[in-house]
Structure 1
Amino acid sequence: MKKTILAFGLLIFSHYTFAQSNLKNAVNKGKDYIVIQAGYAGLTGTGANTLHMGFNRTLNIALVYDIPLNESKFSLGAGLGVGADNFYFKKEKIDITSTTSPNRVASDNYQKSKLSTTYLEIPLELRFHQFQHDLNRGFKVGIGIKTGYLLNAHTRVVTNVTGRNVTETESSKYWFNTIRFVPTARIGWGNFAVYGSYGITPVFKSNSTYSLKAYSVGLSFGGF
Structure 2
Amino acid sequence: MKKLFFSLGLMAASFGVFAQDAKNAVANKAMGAAAHSKDFLVIQLGYVGLTGTGAGAINTGFNRQLNIAFMYDIPLQKTNFSLAAGLGIGSDHYHLSKMSLDLRNASTVPDFQETDAYSKFKLAATYLEVPLELRYRQVPENANKGFKVGVGLKIGNLLNAHTRSVANVNGSKLIEKEASKRLFNTWRFAGTARVGYGNFALYGTYALNGIFKDNGTYDVNPYSFGFMISGL
Q: TM-score range by the shorter chain?
A: 0.7 to 0.9
User: C-alpha deviations, 1:27-60, integer Å up to 9, x for none?
Assistant: 3121110010000010111111112211000000
User: C-alpha deviations, 1:71-106, integer Å up to 9, x for none?
Assistant: 110000110000000000122112222211211122
- List gaps (5 residues or longer) in structure 2: 1-28
**Quick one: distance in 2 between partners of 1:23 and 1:35?**
22
Aligned to 1:185: 193
Matched, 1:165 2:173: yes
Query: What secondary structure, in the 3-state scheme, does the structure 2 residue paired with 1:27 have?
Result: helix
Identity over aligned pairs, percent: 51
Query: What secondary structure, in the 3-state scheme, does the structure 2 residue paired with 1:121 have?
Result: strand
Instruction: State the shift of 1:25 in Å.
Output: 4.7
Match of 1:71 among 48, 54, 78: 78
Matched, 1:61 2:64: no
State the TM-score, normalizing by the size of structure 1. Answer: 0.87
Aligned to 1:8: none
Instruction: State the shift of 1:207 in Å.
Output: 4.8
**Quick one: distance in 2 between partners of 1:160 and 1:40?**
28
Query: What secondary structure, in the 3-state scheme, does the structure 2 residue paired with 1:64 have?
Result: strand
The list of structure 1 runs, each at least 4 consecutive aligned residues, that deviate by more than 2 angstroms after superposition, is 22-27, 206-209
Aligned to 1:3: none
Look at both structures and tell me which one has the larger radius of gyration over its CA atoms: 2
**Quick one: distance in 2 between partners of 1:164 and 1:23?**
59
Aligned to 2:110: 102
Letter in 2 for 1:43: L
Query: What secondary structure, in the 3-state scheme, does the structure 2 residue paired with 1:145 have?
Result: strand
Task: Indicate if the aligned counterparts of 1:82 and 1:118 stay in contact, CA closer than 8 A.
Answer: yes
Aligned to 1:139: 147
Instruction: State the shift of 1:197 in Å.
Output: 0.3
Letter in 1 for 2:170: T
**Quick one: distance in 2 between partners of 1:92 and 1:66?**
43
| Paired residues, number | 203
Task: Indicate if the aligned counterparts of 2:53 and 2:216 stay in contact, CA closer than 8 A.
Answer: no
**Quick one: distance in 2 between partners of 1:97 and 1:44?**
24
User: C-alpha deviations, 1:162-220, integer Å up to 9, x for none?
Assistant: 22221110000001001110100000000100000000110000254311110000011
Letter in 1 for 2:173: N
User: In structure 2, do the counterparts of structure 1 residues 109 and 206 end up closer, same or farther at CA, with 3 Å as the change threshold?
Assistant: closer
Letter in 1 for 2:157: Y
Matched, 1:118 2:126: yes
**Quick one: distance in 2 between partners of 1:23 and 1:91?**
56
Query: What secondary structure, in the 3-state scheme, does the structure 2 residue paired with 1:45 have?
Result: strand
Aligned to 2:99: 92
Task: Indicate if the aligned counterparts of 1:109 and 1:161 stay in contact, CA closer than 8 A.
Answer: no
Moved more, 101-110 or 68-77: 101-110
Match of 2:45 among 30, 38, 47: 38
RMSD over aligned CA atoms reads 1.4
Aligned to 1:214: 222
Matched, 1:203 2:214: no
**Quick one: distance in 2 between partners of 1:36 and 1:182?**
17
**Quick one: distance in 1 between partners of 2:142 and 2:215?**
48
Query: What secondary structure, in the 3-state scheme, does the structure 1 residue paired with 2:106 have?
Result: coil
